[in-house]
Amino acid sequence: MTTGSPRASDAYAALRYPEFRAYIAASTIHNIALLVQEVVIAYELYRITRDPLALGLTGLAAAIPFISLSLFGGHVADRLSKRTIILWTVVLVTFATAGLCVCVNAAEAHRLSSDALIAMFYLVIFFIGVCRAFRAPAVSALRAFLVPPSLYENATKWSTSSWQVASVVGPSLSGFSYLVVGLSGTLLFVVVLLAISWYFFSRIGDKPVPPEPNESSIISSVMEGVRFAHRTKIIFYSISLDMLSVLFGGVVAILPIYAEDILHVGAGGLGILRAASSAGAIVTVIALARFSVIKHPWRNLLIATSGFGVWILVFAVSPWMMLSVLALFMSGAFDSISVVIRQTILQLMTPDNMRGRVMAVSGIFISSSNELGAFESGFAARLMGTVPSAVFGAVTTLAIVAWVFSKSKELLKVQPTTASH
């Protein structure tokens, strides 16, 4: 820890803690690596199959293990060393990616069929989902131990920014790398990035495991986290709103179709489309660095989610690349506000000894929106057509915001308070 106490109004307050800087560096590089891998696998799958459902199935392959194991992963994160969990899962993902690189080389040399390669893509995605079920709760819970509670909102903004930087850099690098060194060379690059992220995670010291007030079985322990998230209404409604809006409104999974068949911009254009929403998020988080967005958290969350839905609707019907990029940029700007609010609420209102389990519950909701949303997008695109399915998703998102608002008006007066630590 640094000497002195950085003020919450200091935009760089959380970054003045060395371990938090290591955390941000590790998380950013790790997320860049996984996003590069995700984009090139999705592009290669669509190039081979020309089937939107093949893209949707990547979300399902990632979601099934994550949702199935995440609550147990949260229990483990509350009982064991979070640092150790993170380091081992990064190692396992690195070896899985290296194995996939070998398979791609075999396919390029015609020693492995296209069908077998596709199967390997899904197998590796599934395995990464297993690792993420343990890594994600540990990473989310660890952040609260690196800065004091007064800096949780500031730390959340930097953490959100790091994810968005990765979301810009990762897809951009993926398109460039795919064009220059091909799929196998790109996967080798991912292996190097994962190794670097492991180094930065290793620079964070081990943290004490908070004692559990009452010893209980694994099932009871897991359900305690579920019950806490459910009875704390602002947590429950915020993660539910995020899940439902992105589940229907998310368009990431079908961006390869827009790039290839609607906007006709190819792999390079796909990288720009993938990066646009994150660029909007980065600009927004930087602009908000000195201002709090949790003074009226529920009102701000509803406005941000509505803005996300409106701009996704614009993207859905846009036939022009520039307008599509602008729409995704603005959707990311509004989404970043909702992320900061939701994550700050979680950090403030969750006790130390329950962080892994509550973060796991939140992670399941987020995974449901992202990975299952990817499956929903691919399935709907195949059923309705790409543009009609995206329009349907955006309109559904706006309807969900109106419905949630009607059920949660009392939360407009709620102000998050710090849990006992």
* Chain segment 192-205, per-residue pLDDT in tens: 999 999 999 999 98
Element (H, E) at 2: none
pLDDT of residue 420: 46
Contact 278, 161 (CB under 8 A): no
Q: How many residues does the chain have?
A: 421
Residue 251's nearest CA partner among 112, 369, 133, 120 is 369
Residue 373's nearest CA partner among 325, 324, 322, 312 is 312
Asked whether the whole model's pTM tops 0.75, one would answer no
pLDDT of residue 128: 93
Contact 363, 137 (CB under 8 A): yes
Burial class (CB in 10 A: 0-12, 13-18, 19+), 406: exposed
Residue 43's nearest CA partner among 113, 121, 137, 109 is 121
Give tens-digit pLDDT for 396-411: 889 988 888 887 777 7
DSSP reduced 3-state for 203:
coil
Contact 327, 191 (CB under 8 A): no
Measured distance CA(58)–CA(274) in Å, rounded? 16
Contact 153, 6 (CB under 8 A): no
pLDDT of residue 421: 43
Enumerate residues 6+ apart whose C-beta is below 8 A from 421: 149, 351, 352
Measured distance CA(33)–CA(255) in Å, rounded? 19
Mark the ranges of the chain whose per-residue pLDDT is less than 70.
Answer: 1-9, 210-219, 221-222, 289-294, 352, 365-375, 414-421
pLDDT of residue 86: 95
Residue 335's nearest CA partner among 316, 361, 309 is 309
Residue 44's nearest CA partner among 33, 55, 53 is 55
Measured distance CA(153)–CA(8) in Å, rounded? 8
Dihedrals phi, psi of 9, to nearest 5 degrees: -75, -15
pLDDT of residue 344: 78
pLDDT of residue 208: 76
pLDDT of residue 64: 86
Contact 323, 314 (CB under 8 A): yes
